[in-house]
Amino acid sequence: VTILPAATSQCGSQSSVGRRVAITWDIRLSGSSSWQTFASVPGNLANVDTVRRPTVLDLPAFGFGHSSVQEVRATAAYSDATPAAQNPEVIFQIAVAARPPPLVVLKGPAEVPPNCGFALEAVGSD
């Protein structure tokens, strides 16, 4: 998200000098109809840092489940704006594809003598 100053024609005689722009980030999880702050979301999303670099949102790898769609909203407002003010916002949609089908790999000899036994193990499988 990039913060751009308003055009002079929009500000009129008002000056935005000295006014700080605050960015707030919210998330609407798959299947939910309401927006939440990242701090209120359970799991590793609660640790998303929205303060250190407020215009950047670094999401954790594997933070969302397969076959899910989330929305992330960035809202910009002057720090002294009233809560009822209509503030500009941008909504990003994050769609996670379905889990790929499992791939089975058998390691071993292609042929064994008839009197030789063998066993299969699922070591290292997910």
Ordered by start, the domain boundaries in the chain are 8-96
Q: What are phi and psi of 99, to 5 degrees?
A: -65, 135
Share in percent of the chain as helix, strand, coil (round to 5): 10, 25, 65
Task: Find all residues with CB under 8 Å of 111, minimum gap 6, and list them.
Answer: none
What's residue 97's pLDDT? 94
Supply the pTM of this predicted model: 0.67
Whether 125 has a pLDDT exceeding 70, the answer reads: no
Per residue in 91-111, pLDDT (tens digit) is 999 999 999 888 887 777 778
Q: What mean pLDDT is predicted for residues 57-78?
A: 90
Q: How many residues in the chain? A: 126
High-pLDDT (> 70) share of the chain, %? 83
